[in-house]
């Protein structure tokens, strides 16, 4: 069996997606997700200019060797663009292998370790009534865990909170394509945030009780001691996890957070190789690995990092926003179903428009996601539909503090 072509499909049904399609001489095709929010065309060029030409003639069954060839052979290692490109190849080859074996990919990873994947959704609101409505809406949809994001008094626009109520039935999607060809400036005030957030979780616990698993995303905005302060102040509300509490390029900084709080910590959606996790996992400075198959080099390294994490009783919490495409989401559902140390799966449902481009076999029933029993990943792309949604320049916002200093978004 030989690869005869690798083509890059950029489409923007509700937001930009980059998909790699590998075709073999037997006519079997495989898909991989290479979507990197705000830098999509960089990955598309990396794939079409520097990877696709090298794949022709290779044996698609040699997944590990192809991964190592692209990682070590490119000389310049790691980084989000490189690892998203390699991820797409890895996913597509697992898709092909599953189709040839007539098995869903999770079966090739050791089979199912559970019936389905507990999932959390994004509840948000500018104020408590809106937030409570959003929590109720998510519970009616079957979510058995919710992430809580809310406005902060004095801060104009906050990550994860719609500036206006969503159209009825529309799910809140923070990464809409129409963000414009220049990033929007937002503002931030950590002290206001640290004062306000505990009052929100107290109100949510009073309204919904102690059982509902609640998550929160700090989105990289605190210093380690501020993260420690927040983790400690949220302990009475028994969070499932506090995510991205502080930028983790300096993995050592999580030692300081860990010393002060027992609130479980989740980190890693912006990481792209196991090296970014090495200290965090070895010293058990986190509780959940937040990697996404798309940004972490694909299925192969995602399984490897979870096997490393298992030695330190750390579980998965794979990143599942709308800027991981249905292909990338499917890839990590297969990994999540197979590994023993599964924790929870994020699920920001893709839009109806996106679902006209990507046919998916995943199911979400009784709060559990399952990738389905289709051979391979269980996702197909309608290239004619994809072509009707051309790329739209779109960037994530950025943050400045009140004095104009750049801050983490
Ligand atoms: C967020 C993401 O889902 C999350 O946890 O951190 O939505 C993040 O903002 C986007 O993936 C950025 O592209
Ligand atoms: Mg996050």
Instruction: Find the 50 Cα to ligand 2 centroid distance in Å.
Output: 30
Strands, E assignment, 344-408 = 345-346, 358-360, 363-365, 368-370, 379-381, 398-401, 406-407
Say if residue 388's pLDDT is above 70.
yes
Calculate ∠ Cα 324-296-54, nearest 5°: 100
Q: What is the mean pLDDT of residues 119-145?
A: 95
Q: pLDDT-based confidence at 376, cuts 50/70/90?
A: very high
* pLDDT above 60 for 304: yes
Measure Cα distances from 355 to 60, 141, 162, 325, 351 in Å.
27, 18, 22, 10, 6
| 8 A C-beta contact, residue 125 and residue 134 | yes
Report the catalytic residues: 159, 219
Ligand lying closest to the C-alpha of residue 121: 1
Which ligand is the nearest neighbour of the Cα of 147? 1
Report the pLDDT averaged over residues 43-68: 98
Site to probe by mutation for ligand 1, drawn from 319, 328, 408 as the one with most ligand atoms within 8 Å of Cβ, is 319
Any idea which residue has 């590994």 for tokens? 339
Q: What is the mean pLDDT of the chain?
A: 95
Tokens encoding 82: 């490189």
Q: Mark 158-174 as b/e (b = at least 16 C-beta within 10 Å).
A: bbbbbeeeeeeeebbbb
> What is the whole-number distance in angstroms between the Cα of residue 358 and the centre of ligand 1?
21
Q: Which whole number is the average pLDDT over 272-296?
A: 98
Q: Which of 366, 305, 356, 354 is nearest to 328 (CA)?
A: 354
Pair 245, 286: CB distance under 8 Å: no
Ligand 1 binding residues, C-beta < 6 A: 37, 174-175, 217, 219, 269, 319, 321, 323, 346, 396
Nearest atom (ligand 1) to Cα of 290: 5
Question: How do residues 236-259 score in pLDDT, each as one tens digit?
Answer: 999 999 999 999 999 999 999 999
Q: What is the pLDDT of residue 177?
A: 52
- Among residues 397, 395, 396, 383, the alpha carbon closest in space to that of 13 is found at 383
162-178 average pLDDT score: 55
What's the CA gap between 392 and 11, in Å, rounded? 9
Position 165 pLDDT exceeds 80: no
* Contact status, residue 79 vs residue 7, Cβ threshold 8 Å: no
């Amino acid at each position: 069996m030989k690869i005869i072509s690798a083509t890059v499909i950029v489409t923007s049904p509700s937001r930009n997606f980059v998909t790699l399609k590998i075709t073999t001489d037997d006519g079997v095709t495989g898909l991989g997700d290479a979507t990197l929010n705000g830098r999509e065309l960089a990955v598309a060029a990396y794939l079409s200019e520097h990877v696709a030409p090298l794949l022709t003639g290779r044996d698609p069954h040699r997944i590990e060797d192809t991964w190592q060839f692209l990682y070590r052979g490119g000389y310049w290692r790691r980084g989000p663009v490189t690892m998203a490109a390699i991820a797409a190849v890895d996913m597509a080859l697992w898709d092909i292998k599953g189709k040839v074996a007539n098995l869903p990919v999770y079966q090739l990873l050791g089979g199912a370790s559970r019936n389905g994947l507990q999932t959390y959704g994004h509840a948000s609101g500018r104020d408590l009534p809106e937030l409570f409505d959003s929590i109720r809406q998510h519970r009616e949809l079957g979510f058995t865990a919710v992430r809580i994001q809310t406005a902060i008094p004095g801060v104009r626009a906050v990550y994860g909170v719609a500036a206006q109520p969503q159209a009825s039935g529309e799910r809140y999607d923070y990464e809409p394509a129409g963000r414009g060809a220049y990033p929007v400036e937002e503002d931030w005030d950590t002290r206001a945030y640290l004062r306000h957030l505990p009052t929100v979780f107290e109100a949510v616990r009073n309204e919904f009780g102690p059982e509902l698993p609640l998550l929160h995303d700090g989105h990289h905005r605190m210093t380690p001691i501020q993260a420690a302060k927040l983790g400690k102040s949220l302990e009475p509300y028994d969070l499932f996890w506090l995510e991205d509490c502080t930028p983790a390029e300096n993995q050592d900084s999580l030692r300081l957070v860990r010393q002060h709080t027992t609130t479980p910590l989740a980190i890693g959606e912006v990481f792209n190789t196991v090296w970014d996790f090495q200290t965090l996992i070895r010293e058990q400075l986190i509780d959940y690995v937040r990697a996404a198959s798309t940004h972490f080099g694909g299925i192969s390294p995602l399984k490897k990092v979870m096997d490393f994490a298992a030695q330190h009783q750390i579980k998965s919490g794979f990143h599942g926003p709308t800027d991981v495409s249905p292909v990338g989401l499917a890839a990590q559902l297969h990994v999540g179903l197979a590994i023993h140390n599964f924790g929870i799966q994020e699920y920001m449902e893709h839009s109806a428009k996106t679902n006209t481009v990507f046919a998916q076999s995943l199911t979400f029933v009784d709060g559990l996601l399952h990738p389905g029993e289709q051979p391979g990943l269980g996702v197909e792309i309608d290239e004619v539909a994809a072509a009707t949604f051309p790329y739209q320049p779109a960037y994530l916002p950025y943050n400045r503090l009140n004095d104009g200093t750049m801050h983490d978004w």
